[in-house]
Amino acid sequence: MLAALGAAIAKDLRLLGRDRAGLVFLSLAPVLVITVAGFSLAGLFGAAPGGTSAYVLPVADEDGGRLGRALRSGLAGEPGIEVRPVANRDAARALVRGGVAGTALVIPPGVSAALLDGQPASLLLYTDPVKYLEVANVRALVQEARRRVEASAHSRARHRLVEARHGARAARRRFERSARALRQAVDGLAAQLAAARTDTERRLAALRSETDAALRAAAARRAAAARARLAAELAPLHQFLDDLTARQRAFADWLTEARARAGRFADRLPPPPAPPSVPPAVAALAAADAKTLAERLLPAEETALEVPHVTLPPPPSLPALDFPASPELPAARLPGSLDVVEASVTGAPARLNAFDQNVPGFSVTFLLLGMLLGVSLGLLDERDWGTLARLRAMPAPFAATLVAKLLARFLVGLVQMIALFAVGRLVFGVSLGPEPWALLLPTAGIVFAATAFGLVVAGMARSRDAVLPVGSIAIVTMAAAGGCWWPLELEPAWMRQAALALPTTWAMRAYNDLMIRREYLAAAFEPTAVLLAYGAAYLLLGLVLFRRHTLGHV
Amino acid sequence: MRAAIAVEGIVKRYGSRVALAGVTVDVGPGEIVGLLGPNGAGKSTLLSILATVLVADAGTATVAGHRLPAQARAARHVLGLVPQQTAVYPTLTAAENLRFFARMQGLDGTAAAAAARRALALIGLEARADEPVWRFSGGMRRRLNLACGVLHEPRVLLLDEPTVGVDPQSRERIFAAVEALARAGAAILYSTHDMEEAQRLAGRIVLLDRGHIAAAGTGAELVAAARLTPRLHLRTTRALRGDWLANVSGARALDGTGSEALVEITETAGVAGVLRAAADAGGDVLELVLHRPSLADVFFALTGHGLRDDESPAAAAR
């Protein structure tokens, strides 16, 4: 059992060892993929993004102020960037549109002044959205430079602010000391005023009592004098009235006696004359005692003379010591914020839909798979089946047969690409650009080139088994290095130059221009022409190789 | 009668190796000529030149009066090729294959369809016309392969080992079709390894070896020309003594071990004398086999028994 197992393993290893195509596929193909991917993606893993050359960054300083100088100075120190001063934003934009640079920085007029004034301001970064790695790298460096400039300005402003705060704190402490002293003084003055008022009120009360007593004594004296004088004045009256009264009683007594003496003739006696009556006023006057009369006759004010009440005026109000909490800080403005606004040079969105890159890229990859393997395997199959020999013995020109085969594949490839782009549009919302039908140009070009390259592979691969390694190496190289799997800008500069020899590079350039940069038909002319030229060259080479290597074996 | 296929002094080289060294062959209308030879003899090369797929380095070749390669295009209208491979498209149906090749022969749509029907009937595949070829057995594919070559009723038919690997029934059907085409007037050059097949079909046989014509003629002529004699194989009850054939004229012992003996005789009439001699020598004959000279004997006599693995064009290409 083990012996059989060992023999079977040995047999399979021997088979593999003798399968040259398989060995190439196992060894050379992955090495090539690793090489291409490694060089292409080096930028993602810390290698110099631009390879041996730095990114060109046009800088249009329309401000001409401190900010521009600081930014240029900061960016000039970045090894990954070659600052290229340009006159204005139009020149900067032209360099980006022309593909010289992936980004361009514009420092708009008035930015420095706005910042110093504490106003927000913006820098303008023109971008080519296709070169998003370059854009990302430059954006990061510009942001870093901006951050440094901003940080420096903030630092200076903070320093000034700190100094101002120190001064303000000292002034505040002086102010607070003065305020406390003043408050204490004012508080003392209030106490003094209260004491003075109390003393004044006490003195006033005493004075009032004394005055009142003096007035009362004076009034009593005046009343007594008036009573005495009144009594003296009324004494004759009293005398008279007393005399009158006595006389009236004497007359009454007399009369009574007269009547009594008149006996029975008393009634005949005539009524005596009525004595004069005393006027009531006189009677009241006479009846009143001197005191009452004096009180009645003396003016009330003289009898109830009051000391005028003296109301002290309120003490003068002390000024309210409403001290502000602290004196105003001296004005110290921070510089305004500075941001970077991005704008695509073609008016396309600065952020791209990843499918705008991936849909054409992988469509081209699978186109290559279909065309290279389809055309080459199809032709080799025909050779192996013997149908090529049969067709060559038939009246139809063999070239026409071959062209028909390639044309059929071309149509299939065209339909495949259109279908994939339609799926990309419907499912992933990829942009088809302002003129979607313009995509047909590079599509026709790359399908033609891929079809013709299939003939080259068919001519190079001696057998069906050889197609896989030859085809896979060709497909991987063309797709990877040509920007189908990742943007060309990821690749080092030398690789980007080398990739111009691949039709995929031109196809992706056209797709990027039309779909991502939103450019118009004219942008597709040059890449399509190159693709057609490549296709024609491949067709010629493929025919030569196919005739020499493949048909020779029929 | 003017030959439909006329080859004279054809030379073809692959690098330093000479595949055909001045071969001259002709085939008349309605004639089937068998092309025999070991691997690397030049059979396929000769057929490829006649099929206008290869160009000879020297010599002349005409097909139905069209000189090759100058008039190759005209020749292609009248020649049919049945390659050694089953040169059909596996994923197409039989009818689709036939219609396609008919169109490539220059027939219009209607004529192509009619030709396809005729060809299907010729090879007995009408019932399977609409099945993809990959479902066919080897014999069916071989028949279809033949049909694709005769769609346009060619005046010249080149067949390169058309019955390799087929079942007897299919072989018979192919033979019948080839014979029918010959009867219809086609000149047929039939390349094969199979001597029996060649003898069965071919009026004449051309035996190629290392790019030269080793022999040509009818089967009987080839056998006669090879001067081969019949042989007797005897098995007796006991071993015969060494001189037991001394008194038999026209007989010679070739080999003898124990009770078996191989005897060459000049004519079959000598068999009785050999039997008598064996009996006289005390050996009762238990078994007797008479082997008459055949085309295969001629083939081996002319080409030897050595293997020719390194003489094919493919080997030369290596």
Of residues B52, B85, B317, nearest to A386 (C-beta): B85
Is some CB atom of chain A closer than 8 A to the CB atom of B101? yes
CA angle B214/B217/B221 to nearest 5° reads 100
pLDDT by residue (tens digit) across A460-473? 877 777 787 778 88
Q: For residue range B252-281, what is the model confidence (pLDDT) as tens digits?
A: 887 777 778 888 888 777 788 888 888 887
pLDDT tens for A348-376 read: 776 678 888 889 999 999 998 888 888 88
Best of A20, A387, A547, A553 to mutate (most B CBs within 10 Å, chain B): A387
CB-side exposure of A15: number of CA atoms within 13 Å?
A: 6
Contact A386, B164 (CB under 8 A): no
% of chain B at pLDDT higher than 70: 95
In angstroms, the Cα distances linking A55 to A83, A98, A130, A190 are 8, 14, 15, 80
* Confidence bin at A225 (pLDDT 50/70/90): confident
Please give the full DSSP string across B207-238, using - where no structure is assigned.
EEETTEEEEEE-HHHHHHHTT---EEEEEESS
In chain B, how long is the greatest CA-to-CA distance?
A: 78
Are the CB atoms for A81 and A138 separated by under 8 Å?
yes
> Mean pLDDT over residues B31-41, rounded?
88
Q: Among the listed ranges A35-39, A496-500, B110-114, which one has the minimum average pLDDT value?
A: A35-39
**Among partner residues A384, A393, A401, which is closest to B51 by beta-carbon distance?**
A393
What pLDDT is stored for residue A76 in this prediction? 81
> How many CB atoms are closer than 10 A to CB B92?
15
pLDDT at A553 over 70: no
A461 Cβ neighbours under 8 A, 6+ residues apart: A376, A380, A467, A470, A471
Q: Which residues of A touch B92 (CB under 8 A)?
A: none
Query: CA of A421 to nearest chain B CA: how many angstroms apart?
Result: 30
Taking the CA of residue A520 and the nearest CA in chain B, the distance in Å comes to 44
Verify whether the Cβ–Cβ distance B101 to A396 is below 8 Å. Answer: no
Q: From residue A392, how far is each of B42, B80, B105 by CA, in Å?
A: 20, 11, 11
Over residues B183-226, the pLDDT tens digits come to 999 999 999 888 888 888 888 999 888 888 888 888 778 887 77
Edge-to-edge, what's the strand order for the sheet holding B251-257? B251-257, B260-265, B231-236, B285-291
Each residue of A489-535: pLDDT tens digit? Answer: 777 778 888 899 999 999 999 998 899 888 889 999 999 999 999 99
**Would you list which residues of chain A are within 8 Å, Cβ to Cβ, of chain B?**
384-387, 389-397, 401, 553-554
Domains of chain B in start order, with CATH, are 5-224 (3.40.50.300), 229-292 (3.30.70.1560)
At residue A329 the predicted structure's pLDDT band, cuts being 50, 70 and 90, is: low
Q: What is the CA radius of gyration of chain A?
A: 64
Residues of A in contact with B149 (CB under 8 A): 390
Complete DSSP assignment for A282-334: HHHHHHS-HHHHHHHHS-HHHHS--PPP-PPPPPPPPPP----SSPPPPP-PP
Q: How far does A497 lie from chain B, in Å, by closest CA?
A: 40
What pLDDT score does A53 carry? 63
A297 pLDDT more than 80: no
pLDDT of residue A186: 83
Judge whether B57 and B228 are in contact, CB under 8 Å: no
Q: Would you state the pLDDT for residue A326?
A: 59
Indicate whether A36 pLDDT > 90: no
Report chain B's mean pLDDT, rounded to a whole number. Answer: 86
The pLDDT confidence band at residue A258, using thresholds 50, 70 and 90, is confident
pLDDT at A448: 94
Note the pLDDT of residue A333: 67
pLDDT tens profile B45-81 = 999 999 998 899 999 999 999 998 899 989 999 999 9
Average pLDDT over residues A222-241: 82
Distance CA A247, CA B65 (A): 215
User: Whole-angstrom Cα distance, residue B143 to residue B140?
Assistant: 5
Please tell me the distance from the alpha carbon of residue B281 to that of residue A304, in angstroms, as a whole number: 209
Tens of pLDDT, residue by residue over A416-466, are 999 999 999 998 888 898 899 999 999 999 999 999 998 888 888 777 777
Report yes or no: B55 at the A interface, CB cutoff 8 Å.
no
Report pLDDT digits (tens) over B273-309.
888 888 887 778 888 888 887 777 777 777 766 666 5
pLDDT at A49: 46
Flag whether pLDDT at A303 surpasses 70.
no
* Nearest in space to A352 (alpha carbons), one of A483, A517, A486: A517
pLDDT in the model for residue A419: 92
If residue B291 lies in a helix (H) or strand (E), which one and from where to where? strand B285-291
Q: Name the residue with higher pLDDT: A107 or A336.
A: A107
> Chain A neighbours among B 13-52 (CB < 8 Å)?
48, 51-52
Angle between helices A503-511 and A440-460 (to 10 degrees): 160
For A477-488, write each residue's pLDDT tens digit: 889 889 898 888
Per-residue pLDDT band at B88 (split at 50, 70, 90): very high
Other CB atoms within a 10 A radius of the CB of residue B156 amount to: 24
**Burial grade of B314 (CB within 10 A; 0-12, 13-18, 19 or more):** exposed
| Average pLDDT along chain A | 82
pLDDT the model gives residue A50: 46
At residue B283, φ and ψ (nearest 5 deg) are -110, 110
Contact A387 B88 (CB under 8 A): yes
Under the banding of pLDDT at 50, 70 and 90, the label for residue B115 is very high
Q: Which of B44, B71, B85, B150 should be substituted to probe chain A, the one whose Cβ sees the most A Cβ atoms within 10 Å? A: B85
Which residues on chain A are in Cβ contact (under 8 Å) with B84? 386
- Interface contact B52-A553, CB threshold 8 A: no
B11-31 mean pLDDT: 90
Interface test with B, best of A380, A388, A394 (most B CBs within 10 A): A394
Contacts of A391 in chain B (CB under 8 A): 104
| Interchain pair A385, B77: CB under 8 A | no
**Position A302 pLDDT exceeds 80:** no
Question: pTM to 2 decimals?
Answer: 0.68
Q: Does B108 touch chain A (CB under 8 A)?
A: no
Which has the minimum average pLDDT: A33-47, A162-176, A482-496, B171-185? A33-47
The tokens for A153 are: 């300005």
What is the mean pLDDT of the segment spanning A396-417? 87
**Cβ pair A391:B104 closer than 8 A:** yes
B299: left (phi over 0), alpha (psi -120 to 50) or beta: alpha
Q: Which of the four pLDDT bands, split at 50, 70 and 90, describes residue A150? A: confident
pLDDT at position B318 is 46
- Under an 8 A CB cutoff, do B85 and A385 touch? yes
Residues 6+ apart with CB under 8 A from B190: B32, B33, B34, B35, B159, B162, B178, B198, B201, B202
| Alpha-carbon gap, residue A55 to A490, rounded angstroms | 12
Q: What is the per-residue pLDDT for A43? A: 64
